[in-house]
Chains A and B, each alone.
Chain A
Amino acid sequence: MSSEEHQLLRSSVREFAQKNLEGISAKIERDGLRPETVAAMAAQGFLGASVPGELGGTGLDERGYMIVLEELARVSPSAAVKILIINSLYAPLAMATRKGKETLEEVASAKVNATVAHTCLLEGYREEKGVTFADSHVKGVKEYVVNSDAGLVILTANGTPGTLLLVRGGVEPVNDQTRLGFRGLRFSSVRVDSGDFEVLGENGAGMLEETLDGMDLEVAAIALGITAGAVAKAIDYSKGRTTFEHPLKDYQPVAFSLSSLKSEEEMLRTYIYSEGLSGTAKVMARVKSTQLARSATKQALQVHGGYGYFGDFGVEKFYRDAMALPLLFSRGVKDMQRLSQAVFESKAGFM
């Protein structure tokens, strides 16, 4: 795609988000992403944004896909994360087999929801029984699955690293978890009891790890969207809100902190969309963007005062999501080790 095409894509995603998500963003937090909203995202080609065209996706290039994630996250991070799970986790893993590839068209068109039980790689994961399979049947429970009301689930079975399976049908979300972030998506365990499954590969944990580490820029794009959404709201608010007979923006601590966050946002945007980023540069983008999202959302909420603490103003969800994003889709210590290894050009920070 040319940079004009990227520009055009950006304005059309922004328009879509304004029209279809902004008005219901509080409702998404309350009741979850409704099927009609997901269908609308599918109709725009967002749901299968980076899935190759010949497999039923939109076939956007990396930058185009990041633009979709960023622009949706500006309004509803939950919507962006749904697309992340399908395009950056599910699709690359499903593509390991022919049968897996064949599922992508119905996933991209929202006929069936799909997810990956990837959180076994994360800090604090605890598994009760796990999932086992033999011959023709797979059975068990996977904990902490995001976007768990899915008909297609990729998971590891038979221990660690386990075998990676794509399970179809016989999957049911159970035991919903409290959700700090991404309340538009179901977050629960899944109970699996199915005879319809496909082996995607051995060394399941390794495959999951590679996939999760391979989505640095996508996570950075969502973090940047969260930052942009929160900072824009705070800037708007501080123009309109008056305290001690002056607009908030006239006060140095407000103006300077928001201007500074806006600068960081712009610099990161230039950085993450620049061409030919090395692997190291991508980890750096992930780490800095998720950190920025956290500090930016905190300050954006603070600028809103009491109003920021309530759902109506749409800023507290950014604060929650900015914390949940790295906890669910980054590997804190492991990411820092990847970064350190690149910086020191040898293993570092491992002791």
Chain B
Amino acid sequence: VAEMDFELPEDLKEIRRKAREFALKEITPEFAQKYDREETFPEELRKKAYASGLVDYSNPWSVLILQEEFCRVDAGTGICAVSGFFGLETIQLFGTEEQKAKYLPMVTSGKAMMGLAVTEPSAGSDVAGIKTTATKSGDYYTLNGAKMFITNGQLADFLVTLTRTSPQTQKRHHGLSLFILETGSEGVTRNKLHEKLGVRATNTAEIVLNDVKVPARNLIGEEGKGFYYVMTFFDISRIYTAIQAVGIAQGALDRVLDYVFSQGVENLKEETAMAIGEMEMRIEAARLLTYSAASRLFQFNPDPKLTSSAKAFGSETAVWVTERAMEITGLQGLTGDLERFFRDAKIMEIWEGTSEVEKLTIARTMFREMMKEFLGEKGGAKA
């Protein structure tokens, strides 16, 4: 009989131990506070993380555990240390051999950084509503438009960029294509966006594209299939977001426990004890949901229902736990790490699909499955 085993294998436990050790050593509260206050990217931390050998893209579980442990110490700088690859899977899954050979090694080695440019000033959740165009002439495409809230935007050496290659029809998600856009190209302007509520060490930029020429060989996969590729990618990145949120929530609980012990645990009232119990309960549920979604994904069998559940539940857990943590710790939380955790947590409910979008995705996936089942029972054609 096959057993369901909810234990991490020994090698991952070891990775978790090392990741935590690295994060505690390198990301001190003062370090995290400095980058939060100054809104600057901790490049030296990123280099150290790569040099330590902890960032290993050949092992997706280790990337997951790494993000969890880094965010547990500090989400802002922690995300910076490991997000230089953001968008990589689009090339890995749909790129040509030439693209893979040219672009992947420099990112996985940490020499270069990349990003994904999908969101626009007037199109966030509504991916198909993007307006950036790519027009083909000969062996290149000309890109025009603007991208918004692009993570790593100002630092990335290249951005996987979603564009519209044929006019919008009734099927709005048709006619979109993904390109590898080298940010040094003529006509690319990048403006760093300031004054984020949280994750302030991360680099966020607006990208303006003005007659930017991109070689046709930089088209990822087939023209017109960009929407599908991006949605596939979101099934991956949402799991990363979910685990970042779990890390934030766990880090907040760690600090609440420190506080409670410093005050003398014998003085603990039921109101606070129950809040701590509920934090633990929600965090463990979010973690298991995320691992379960990740397990499906890493076996190339993602379940969008599970992925979106992990993302929405994880991020709501992070927000809920950090709120309670602030209430319990009062002035200590307000003047220590926790206020930053509280600010960082909120982005988790927004980026990579808002909680609203995730919940709709869960429901729609269920309806599709029901419809398939219904048609199957009726002996109808497979949907």
Residues of A bordering B, CB below 8 Å: 26, 29-30, 119, 122-126, 144, 177-178, 180, 242-245, 253, 294, 298, 301-302, 305-306, 308-312, 316, 319-320, 323-324, 327-328, 332-333, 351
State which of B74-82, B154-162, B290-298, B338-346 sits at the interface with chain A. Answer: B338-346
In this assembly, does B269 line the interface, its C-beta being within 8 Å of a C-beta of chain A?
Answer: yes
Query: When the two chains form the complex, which single residue of A177, A243, A332 contacts B124, counting CB atoms closer than 8 Å?
Result: A243
> A258 CB to closest chain B CB, in angstroms?
13
What would 11 A/B residue contacts be, using CB atoms closer than 8 Å? A123-B329, A124-B333, A177-B334, A180-B343, A243-B123, A253-B356, A305-B124, A309-B347, A311-B194, A319-B197, A333-B271
- For A242, the chain B residues whose CB sits under 8 A away are 122
Closest residue of chain B to A306, judged by CB? B149
In this assembly, does B381 line the interface, its C-beta being within 8 Å of a C-beta of chain A?
Answer: no
In the complex, the answer to whether A323 meets B331 with C-beta atoms within 8 Å is no
**What 7 A-B pairs are tightest by C-beta distance, nearest first?**
A123-B330, A311-B195, A124-B330, A124-B331, A124-B332, A180-B339, A316-B197
In this assembly, does B351 line the interface, its C-beta being within 8 Å of a C-beta of chain A?
Answer: yes
Closest residue of chain B to A30, judged by CB? B195
In the complex, the answer to whether B330 meets A319 with C-beta atoms within 8 Å is no
Interface size on B, residues (CB 8 A): 45
Residues of B bordering A, CB below 8 Å: 33, 37, 119, 122-126, 129, 148-149, 193-198, 259, 269-271, 319, 323, 326-335, 339-340, 342-343, 346-347, 349-351, 354-356
Q: A302-B349, A306-B148 are in contact. Are A122 and B342 (CB under 8 A)?
A: no
List 17 extra interface pairs beyond A125-B331, A310-B193, CB under 8 A: A30-B195, A122-B330, A124-B331, A144-B335, A243-B124, A244-B125, A244-B126, A245-B126, A294-B323, A302-B349, A310-B194, A310-B196, A316-B197, A323-B323, A324-B334, A328-B334, A351-B270
Q: A180-B343, A245-B129 are in contact. Are A306 and B119 (CB under 8 A)?
A: yes
Which of B119, B124, B148, B195 is packed against the most chain A CB atoms within 10 Å?
B195
> B171 CB to closest chain A CB, in angstroms?
13
- For B196, the chain A residues whose CB sits under 8 A away are 309-311
In the complex, the answer to whether A333 meets B269 with C-beta atoms within 8 Å is yes
Q: A180-B342, A323-B342, A333-B269 are in contact. Are A308 and B331 (CB under 8 A)?
A: no
In the complex, the answer to whether B351 meets A306 with C-beta atoms within 8 Å is yes
- For B331, the chain A residues whose CB sits under 8 A away are 119, 122-126, 144, 327
In the complex, the answer to whether B335 meets A177 with C-beta atoms within 8 Å is yes
Which of B37, B327, B334, B351 is packed against the most chain A CB atoms within 10 Å?
B334
Q: How far is the CA of A26 from the CA of B194 in the complex (A)?
A: 12
Q: How far is the CA of A324 from the CA of B37 in the complex (A)?
A: 18
In the complex, the answer to whether A243 meets B126 with C-beta atoms within 8 Å is yes
- For A298, the chain B residues whose CB sits under 8 A away are 319, 346
In the complex, the answer to whether B350 meets A309 with C-beta atoms within 8 Å is yes
Q: How far is the CA of A255 from the CA of B325 in the complex (A)?
A: 30
- For B126, the chain A residues whose CB sits under 8 A away are 243-245
Which of A30, A178, A351 is packed against the most chain B CB atoms within 10 Å?
A178
In the complex, the answer to whether B326 meets A327 with C-beta atoms within 8 Å is yes
Closest residue of chain A to B349, judged by CB? A302
In the complex, the answer to whether B335 meets A178 with C-beta atoms within 8 Å is yes
In the complex, the answer to whether A309 meets B346 with C-beta atoms within 8 Å is yes
In the complex, the answer to whether A320 meets B197 with C-beta atoms within 8 Å is yes
Closest residue of chain A to B338, judged by CB? A180
- For B123, the chain A residues whose CB sits under 8 A away are 243
Main secondary structure of the interface of B (DSSP, over half): helix
- For B198, the chain A residues whose CB sits under 8 A away are 309
In the complex, the answer to whether B33 meets A178 with C-beta atoms within 8 Å is yes
Query: When the two chains form the complex, which single residue of A244, A320, A327, A351 contacts B343, counting CB atoms closer than 8 Å?
Result: A320
Closest residue of chain A to B354, judged by CB? A305
- For A26, the chain B residues whose CB sits under 8 A away are 195
In the complex, the answer to whether B335 meets A305 with C-beta atoms within 8 Å is no
Q: How far is the CA of A243 from the CA of B354 in the complex (A)?
A: 13
Which of A26, A180, A319 is packed against the most chain B CB atoms within 10 Å?
A180
> A100 CB to closest chain B CB, in angstroms?
27
In the complex, the answer to whether A302 meets B33 with C-beta atoms within 8 Å is no
> A97 CB to closest chain B CB, in angstroms?
29
Query: When the two chains form the complex, which single residue of A245, A305, A319, A333 contacts B125, counting CB atoms closer than 8 Å?
Result: A305
- For B319, the chain A residues whose CB sits under 8 A away are 298
Query: When the two chains form the complex, which single residue of A243, A306, A316, A332 contacts B327, counting CB atoms closer than 8 Å?
Result: A332
Q: How far is the CA of A253 from the CA of B124 in the complex (A)?
A: 17
- For A324, the chain B residues whose CB sits under 8 A away are 334
> B172 CB to closest chain A CB, in angstroms?
8
- For A305, the chain B residues whose CB sits under 8 A away are 124-125, 350, 354
- For B343, the chain A residues whose CB sits under 8 A away are 180, 320
Q: How far is the CA of A298 from the CA of B333 in the complex (A)?
A: 19
Q: How far is the CA of A126 from the CA of B126 in the complex (A)?
A: 48
> A103 CB to closest chain B CB, in angstroms?
27
- For A144, the chain B residues whose CB sits under 8 A away are 331, 335
Q: How far is the CA of A147 from the CA of B346 in the complex (A)?
A: 27
Q: How far is the CA of A324 from the CA of B327 in the complex (A)?
A: 10
In the complex, the answer to whether A124 meets B329 with C-beta atoms within 8 Å is yes
- For A316, the chain B residues whose CB sits under 8 A away are 197
Q: How far is the CA of A253 from the CA of B270 in the complex (A)?
A: 35
